[in-house]
Structure 1
């Protein structure tokens, strides 16, 4: 773009915030040999430097230097005058200003909310805190309480409207279950679910423990229909998922339909658990949703269409997605669902859940739908209902309206992702924005909390303007009060009054304000596909909340990741190549050309040593031939004459230049 006449600002800062490096330092302090080997073998950290990594800040500083040197060696024309870290005191003042404004606007709230939780670190976790950078996806389940004697068998479901079609209960016969008093009621749940229930705020007192086999052949009462249904063996039941007790709806769940049909054919298993084969065979699906393009039993239709033979068939996922999606968008409740008859499924789901909860027949349970996820410390992530936690309320409908306006008016590349951004806006809810430990900025009105890494990195682009002046003029961070940021970003206040109050030269303030307006709004934000669902959308939310409409971001460009020979880079596969090592091995020009030659929007870049080697040979050959031609003709004084072939080559070159510019 610079070669086309544009003035381009390309800065770089370093994100120190969060708990990942604290987890690494803790593991090293505890003598984690695997992590030590990774640092030495993959990242070539000298042993004497590694010894200092028990202090988190030393890890950050080491890789800060390595990344910066890699960028310099790669030839990136970065404006290093604007370099900063997210724990610099001046940056802390900037984030404090941001959060005070969000708080004043009513976008930061305090309350109870389910969050991804690391039981080892004792902190809420986000994408940056997990192995593989996986964002914990918390979903709301309905825990329907089937009656078993004096106890309840709570079954977790995302489809409470299908309770009318429950034909049996599935229990894993070889897993451990408990009878426990939960908030004064007797519940039978898997042993693995006990700690989850406690983290959700329930008082749980375990009374006895037994194998699931003890429940097989017994009965439970559907709290909605009053139907007495059997408890059957289900080896597919995951005791760590939900309550470990599953409601079976074979008319509308392909997994349940296949499992029930398999059990009917497995005479030995039926006998093993003392079940009556006739009773099992008499279980018939109960249709409760009407769907025009399907028969009365949509699950059976899908199983047959996908030619699914057993529970191990991977096509069951596709069949399930098809049935669930079709029923939700186009299905209607049947007459046997009482007052919900003829309601669209999309409406009935919430109405049924609300009524069951109000009647005490169900409760709400929160669960990770993309488990298992692991914290960088190694512990498995679960869900905790966090009380007295600070949240950014991304569920504010007025705020969402402004964000939708911004998305509709900005450039999204590729265009296909515009709808994905809008979908994220629709489902975003409150986001925990602070934690008790880690590096970062303290919450200004509650300093026991530290602002977390996905919340202090949403408008940092604006800080690049200020960072240059902080670095060059050595501005005292204590002078960077809210009035400073109000003037620079929003033009609030008289510059002379602000200068006098802060003790900063008025001309310097004018220069900073002028430069901010020169570069803002942000012309283009480039990032990875995995950040559409959090970081990039938070970026839009915070910009529209804090800046006037004319300063809203103009464009987002989304790209894929870099693969190594078709595989994701990972320590376990030993295929990670740090940037500086790659430059030493292949050269900066070769590396940049190799990545560029296979790059495409939304496509992962598949780097391979063979590709880099061939490009290196091509560049070396081109350079050698050019040198030879220059040497051969250096003494020739005849004015060159352009032949037709020369004109053709120049024309072809210009055509490629035009095409590249247009793209």
Structure 2
């Protein structure tokens, strides 16, 4: 508790300091700082969080990727900007406010709910109820609640969010949310120590008239340039809300798009009219139905069945034909994604226990489908001209009523096929009717075999006459696949011994082969497109079926989508304004941006962007209601919540000018009337024409001059923008200042976000930037980094399970820097990261101890040699061993700095933390230990260098403790963010001169390990049970070889020449050629003239070098080290002696000690040998 209290006091201290000194406010360099324009600038943004609650750890995790990045670039000395806004556009706030109002209306204030587990309001419809009333009016379905979505009242949710109970009634007004939660979010981020320029913060919607005008300008421009269109198009639709449900409006199903299905019309045959129809056909000499000719039937050995109808179907048929259908044709509608395979239909499947319905789609046609499919169709105009979304419902039909009926299947060569049972059909996907193509669909063939062989009594259970209904309908050879042939599903199922439809693992694997190879490499062998590639005839087959009125085309969501109003969504064909993201030319621009400019940090992110662009289609940009900005050219609509959030990064660059320091612009001295399209065109570098209204308002007359003066006073922040503001003397100067702010910060250098926003928000950002600044590639985004979701303690974060932490809770529990430490440690990649509370708790002690250790070390240090880099360099030139340990420590500091910076540059913050905290700390401890064993004081120059470097690297992740180290330990007066790291080039040059000491450190550690391993072997009992050193090793004598035998040197040099000279020729850097061994053999015979008896020994040595080079690179081929092994080991004698656990240790050159040279032949440069006593 003492440690935590101390750290939190430090955090409050530095947060006050940053606020009072405006440390993180950023402006373009001017005046004497103008040369900084030639240095780097860094502009990073993070998707503004949605303000329907408090920030939680997941928000912080994604935000820290931007926050850590700006911290790193501040420590690089770059002009760095991280703004932070608040998103309130869309339905979630409106939905929550409405839910609260309904609770209060129906259950009082505070609401007294009837039960704890049912919060449905009167008149609402649950998923368990039939959603069709007696006249066929569809009622919006509420989503089923499950373990993940515990039902809780909105009143209780607000209590959990910390809202005082007396304040809760105010939240029935959506705009109260807009005022309440951004303030709390700002407070949380300040307690976190976020390095944000808060002047630029804003809220969205018309609650902020300046942002509202910015969005309207953007949409007018997109509309003028042809990127926004109007028309009827399919979109995900919430029937309860009566409008499109875009990603941001969804409780689940983010990223799900409409999926087009081809509904095959399987005409249901009425047994009472069939005989009469057949007689008429025979009399007229017509072919039977859609059947095949005799030659094809004979060729396929198909036995056509006699007419058959199951008497159990009679009741439902009578009801359809006599009472409802009125001579309309009735179809079982089978949904498929593969219309080209319909030539292979042998039967169709229904779910015996399924609930189907009969519906008019027009006055002449009735379809039998699942309610799920019918509802989607009713929202796409397939409802007999009924009102939008209303079903023309006839009656309900059970799957068992349809079993054993006969249908005519388009394109199938069979005259008629039977309706058979399939118990695995899902009624919430497709129509609930499935065509069977057993030749190429493994599931169909498995079920076909189950019934054919009456497995588990399935044929008997459902009364299937196998001889009549199945045996004559053999799988048809419709597709030929290279290396497989025809009947791919039949062949692969038989070869894999698929036992039944429930043999899921095998069937899944076979399905992948059949579908992928069949589609991309298969050739059609039957039907109207025989001879064509399968992939080439899919669209043609679809068009043929449409042309012949043998199918309908409809869509439904790819998977379930639940709106935030808890409604199951459908696909609707609705009139709406949409962004034409399917435009080919626009797609090409975005692809160009991705390929040429965009750093995605992970190849998979780049691949996801490209896949998203490939599949991106029209995007509904408008909605009927909700918070937001009115569509400027059609104010009946509001712009949806992702569409208004694509280029707001540009708004950040001038927001502080427009809004007057308030989130909503309420304190601005800019009248909204002067902020028009010409203003934004000029400020955002799209036009050189000065905006007339603006120029007139701040004119040179006394009134205009006074307005300008008052505005300058409100904008002035001493020490931040004084030179910029004081230089403004006219309206044009003010416009120029804003334009220069935009031009300096743009483009966006890095956009950090969760990976779930790649399929929508992040891709839309690319689209809209390439559209708005279509002729100026310099404004297009340069970097996007995606991260995985955050787990808490190895489990999904969930309020329902209690495994959840808000940002405020985490900071109060562990302090800001410890939370930052654990968030950095949580993970860097696209996989889900993991925040461990144990890590945060340990970080409290580790950071506290770091501060104490640095204070103690500096107090205990003394001014001694070396006192500077110059002293170090002098030691190197003199080849002195007097301060090897000091040189190694300094080299380690430089090496850790460069490697940590490289990791931070790549946004690999966990890696950077490990290097800058763990590895640098380990190097410190090694140096301290060496001083203690040598009984010398700590070198003050090195301790100060270490503490300074530690503070600067740690500032990236934990800025509060870094500032404390800088100020209280090192005694420096300026913020650490005003004293950046040296340039990478400077650090690299310094390390270049010290790199040999890194090799020395590696050599010493490797030597200790190797000698310890030898000691283990020495102490092992012999075969006879005796031990060479029964009392253990007390004395060690280490022998160092100065030179290798000449033949070893020659072989190593020969390999080294190949490594450097011929690497590229043999495929890439950093490897010997594949025939290196044979070359060495030839070299030894032809050049070295190695005797035959020695060749095996030489080749064994060469093989060891070749193997070592694969891991150690060219260093493995060096036979002479760049330092004196004897001097180094002597300097590290205490470390070696302690590592071996002996009492005495001596170091000798081979030939100089008591052990004769012939006994030391195993010693080679870099690999000394040891003798124990």
TM-score (norm 2): 0.54
Alignment of 1:244-263 (within 5 A): 244-263=432-451
The equivalent of 1:623 in structure 2 is: 851
Given the superposition, is the C-alpha separation of residues 312 and 71 from structure 1 closer, same or farther in structure 2, using an over 3 Å criterion? Answer: farther
Give a deviation string over 1:213-259, Cα, whole Å, max 9, x none: 01101111112235211101122112232222111122222322233
- Structure 2 stretches lacking a partner, 5+ long: 1-72, 104-118, 120-150, 270-328, 384-390, 661-667, 700-730, 868-882, 904-1173
Equivalent residues in 2 for 1:64-83, closer than 5 Å: 64-83=182-201
Partner of 1:389: 576
Alpha-carbon shift at residue 507 of structure 1 (Å): 1.4
Q: Kindly report which structure 2 residues correspond to 1:169-248, keeping only aligned pairs within 5 A, or say none.
A: 169-184=348-363, 185-203=365-383, 204-227=391-414, 228-248=416-436
Q: Does 1:115 align with 2:295?
A: no
Q: In the aligned structure 2, how far is the partner of 1:4 from the partner of 1:304?
A: 65
Q: Secondary structure at the match of 1:85?
A: coil
Deviation at residue 133 of structure 1 after TM alignment:
6.0
Where do 1:57-68 residues align within 5 Å?
57-68=175-186
Work out which of the residue numbers 85, 98, 103 in structure 2 matches 1:26: 98
TM-aligned CA deviation for residue 566 of structure 1: 3.0
Q: Which residue number in structure 1 is paired with residue 339 of structure 2?
A: 160
1:78-131 deviations in Å (ceiling 9; x for gaps): 000100011211011011111111111111111111111111111101111111
SS in 1 for 2:683: helix
Deviations 1:337-363 (A, max 9, x none): 23x122222221111001111111111
RCO higher in 1 or 2 (8 Å CA, sep ≥ 6)?
A: 1
By how many angstroms is 1:565 displaced?
2.6
Cα–Cα, structure 1 residues 11 and 60, in superposed 2: closer, same or farther, change >3 Å?
Answer: same
In the alignment, structure 1 residue 662 sits paired with structure 2 residue 902:
yes
- Residues 451 and 466, structure 2, Cα contact 8 Å, conserved in 1: no
Q: Secondary structure at the match of 1:458?
A: coil
Note if 1:651 corresponds to 2:863. no
Partner residue of 1:613?
841
Give the counterpart of 1:3 among 75, 87, 91: 75
Q: CA deviation at 1:67?
A: 2.0
| Aligned residue number for residue 224 of structure 2 | 104
1:532 and 2:720 correspond: no
Runs of 4+ residues over 6 Å off in structure 1:
304-307
Distance 1:306 1:600 in 2: 42
Over 3 Å counting, the alpha-carbon distance change for 1:54 and 1:314 in structure 2 is farther
Determine which of 385, 401, 407 is the counterpart of 2:588.
Answer: 401
8 Å CA contact 2:789–2:831 kept in 1: the answer is yes
Unmatched 5+ residue regions in structure 1? none
Task: Name 2:965's counterpart in structure 1.
Answer: none
Q: How far, CA to CA, are the matches of 1:423 and 1:5 in structure 2?
A: 37
Other-structure match for 2:797: 569
CA distance in 2 between counterparts of 1:406 and 1:17 reads 28
In the alignment, which residue of structure 2 is the partner of 1:52?
170
Query: Would the alpha carbon gap of residues 161 and 133 (structure 1) be closer, same or farther in structure 2, given more than 3 Å must change?
Result: closer
Q: Are the counterparts in 2 of residues 393 and 431 from structure 1 also a CA contact under 8 Å?
A: yes
Q: Distance between the aligned counterparts of 1:572 and 1:250, measured in 2?
A: 45
- In the alignment, the residues of structure 2 paired with residue 252 and residue 566 of structure 1 have an alpha-carbon distance, to the nearest angstrom, of 43
Higher mean displacement: 54-63 or 558-567: 54-63
Aligned to 2:947: none
Following TM superposition, by how much is the alpha carbon of 1:514 offset from its aligned partner in structure 2, in angstroms? 0.9
Distance 1:85 1:341 in 2: 60
Query: 2:498 and 2:254 mapped to 1: Cα distance?
Result: 31
1:120-167 deviation line (CA, Å, top 9, x unaligned): 111101111111462232111111111112411111111111111112
Match of 2:106 in 1: none
Q: Distance in 1 between matches of 2:226 and 2:696?
A: 28
Query: Which TM-score applies when normalising by structure 1?
Result: 0.93
- Give yes or no for contact 2:376–2:555 (8 Å, CA) kept in 1: no
**RMSD, aligned CA:** 2.3
What is aligned with 2:829? 601
Taking the aligned partners of 2:654 and 2:199, their CA distance within structure 1 comes to 10
CA contact (8 A) 1:42 1:576 kept: no
Distance 1:413 1:384, change over 3 A: same
Deviates further, 251-260 or 107-116? 251-260
> What is the CA-CA distance between 1:304 and the residue it aligns to?
6.4
CA contact (8 A) 2:682 2:691 kept: no
Asked if the contact 1:522–1:554 (Cα under 8 Å) also holds between the matched residues in 2, the reply is: yes
Say if 1:133 and 1:249 are closer, same or farther in 2 by CA, change over 3 A.
closer
What is the CA–CA distance in structure 2 between the aligned matches of 1:277 and 1:154, rounded to whole Å?
24
Deviation of 1:481 (Å): 0.3
* Inter-CA distance 596–235: structure 2 relative to 1 (3 Å threshold): same
Higher mean C-alpha displacement, 55-64 vs 298-307: 298-307
1:8 alignment partner, SS class:
strand
Residue of structure 2 aligned with 1:519, choices 735, 745, 750: 745
| 1:314 Cα deviation from its structure 2 partner | 5.2
Q: Deviations over 1:29-87 (max 9, x none)?
A: 23257044763575333323333322222234333222222211111110001000112
Deviations 1:354-410 (A, max 9, x none): 11111111111101112x221111111111111x21111111112112112111112
**TM superposition shift of 1:639:** 4.8
Correspondence for 2:478 among 288, 304, 324: 288
Shift of 1:483: 0.4
**Which residue does the alignment assign to 1:341?**
530
The range that moved more, 234-243 or 96-105, is 234-243
User: Is the 1:250–1:285 Cα contact (8 Å) retained in structure 2?
Assistant: yes
Question: Equivalent of 2:735, from 509, 517, 520?
Answer: 509
Distance across 1 between alignment mates of 2:613 and 2:527: 33
Q: Which has the larger radius of gyration?
A: 2
2:547 to 358, 364, 368: 358
Equivalent residue for 1:376, pick from 564, 575, 586: 564
CA distance in 2, matches of 1:313, 1:655: 57
Task: Please identify, of 204-213 and 136-145, the stretch whose mean Cα deviation from structure 2 is larger.
Answer: 204-213
**What is the rounded CA distance, in whole Å, between the counterparts of 1:616 and 1:280 in structure 2?**
74
| Partner deviation per Cα, 1:507-562 (whole Å, 9 max, x = no partner) | 11110011111111111212121111111111111001111222111222222121
